Amino acid sequence: MSKRRALITGITGQDGSYLAEFLLDKDYEVHGIVRRIALEDPEHRLSRLKNVLDRVHLHAASLESYASIYQVVTKVDPSECYHLAAQSFVSYSFDDEFSTLNANINGTHYLLAALKQVVPSCRFYFAGSSEMFGKVEAIPQSEQTRFHPRSAYGISKVAGFDLTRNYREAYGIHANNGILFNHESPRRGYEFVTRKITSGVARILGGQTNSIALGNIEAKRDWGHAAEYVQAMWLMLQQPEPDDYVIATGETHSVAEFLDVAFSYCGLDYRDYVVHDPVLFRPAEVNILVGDCSKAKERLGWEARVGFEDLVREMVDADCAKLGIARVAAGSSGLR
């Protein structure tokens, strides 16, 4: 019996690398779409895939080119497709709304159209985001909560969500939307606030800096572990019928709480090191996001297991290890 083939966009990112490992462990043949520049600079751009690079098949293509997407889909003939690629850093989307909307919306449309044309039986996953809820109308947010995005990124994700649902309803594609709340790990990009904090703690311990510049530390988010969230993606595609699912922990914590856990773990008080930079505040803030994942628990049998403090500490440990720094024992000073 031949292996199931999966095609992953965004395979070089945090989620893509964890998903590739997860699918390989399930004996999939894993293919990924990457920019050509990634193949030319594998040491840096493919670093998250270093453990599995010899076991995945990478294809150079651009999500802004229907022709290149069509070509890859035809070549791979996937049974499952996970669309994770996007311009995903919210702050960047305020700086360049045009490229964010163009890349995220057109990329999703091109991929869905190619699958419909070439392999309509392929099961499809779209990476939605809690940022689609934006100015929330209910707490917690579920699949029934109305979207009110407050950034070009959030808007582009709502468009992708609607495209995915339309291809499901109009063309019978097994197309699924995962509305994933914030999920982190040691593989998170340095531009995201969580990794900015944990890498900043490591650099402070190593004497490389004495401060971290942050914006709104009162913003509240629902933070889980990326390695668990990719399992939910796979579970969606194993269901008899396609659907939309919120994936979250059901807990909310502020950026200040994240700071507290990260710094106190190293015996430090974050208030001695954080510099508030008005430039880092969003033009339109999303103040609180927390998900109701009861549907995923009931239908998929999925729930988050890694706790908030364990997640933060894992990230701190990983960033300290990257710099060869011995973490100071918790409790020697600072907050408890």
Quick count: other Cβ atoms within 10 Å of Cβ 207?
Answer: 8
Catalytic sites, residue numbers: 129, 131, 153
Structure tokens at 170: 């109009």
How far apart are alpha carbons 111 and 124 in whole angstroms? 10
Number of Cβ within 10 Å of residue 66's Cβ equals 16
- Other C-beta atoms closer than 10 Å to the C-beta of 288 total 17
Upper half-sphere CA count for residue 32 (Cβ side, 13 Å): 29
Note whether 223 and 232 are within 8 A (CB): no
**57/50 Cα distance (integer angstroms):** 13
Beta bridge partners, 79, equal none
3-class state of residue 225 by DSSP: strand
97-118 helix and 152-171 helix, angle to the nearest 10 degrees: 20
**H helix intervals, the chain:** 14-25, 36-40, 42-45, 66-76, 90-95, 97-118, 152-171, 193-205, 226-237, 255-264, 294-300, 308-322
Name the token pair of 23: 């699918």
Structure tokens at 162: 């609607």
Taking alpha carbons only, the member of 79, 75, 74, 88 closest to residue 16 is 88
